[in-house]
Amino acid sequence: MISLHDLYEEGTEAVKEAVRSFGARHPLTVGGAEPDWKVAEKHFTHLIEVIMGTAAPAPAQTVAAASIRRAENEAVQLLLALHPVPDYRCPICVKRGRYPL
C-alpha cells in the first residue's frame, strides 16, 4: 500500500496540500501545530483498508493488486475532496471516537 510519505513525494501540488491538510488533522498535542505523522499514516492506511473492505473479494492476486490500487486512488480522492473543507475531521478519528482539533 502507498504511504502518505510516498504519496506526498510522488503527488501533484494538490495532492501534497491534501496530505499536509490530513496531517494537520492529527496534531501531536491538543491544539498543537505539529502533525503526528505516525497517527496520520496509520489512519490513511486504515482508510484504504476500509475502502477495500467495501469491494467484492478478489479471486486472484492480480485482481487483488488492482483492488488495492483502486482503494488507494479512492482514498486520495477523499483527501482531495476534504482538503478544502475547513476544520474537517479525519473519518477514522471520528469512527474511533477521537476528535482532533
pLDDT in tens, 18-32: 999 999 999 988 777
Of the candidates 36, 38, 50, 39, the one whose C-alpha atom is nearest the C-alpha of residue 78 is 50
Q: How do residues 29-45 score in pLDDT, each as one tens digit?
A: 877 789 999 999 999 99
- 58 or 41, greater pLDDT: 41
- 86 or 77, greater pLDDT: 77
**Cell numbers representing residue 45 in the block:** 492506511
Burial class (CB in 10 A: 0-12, 13-18, 19+), 43: buried
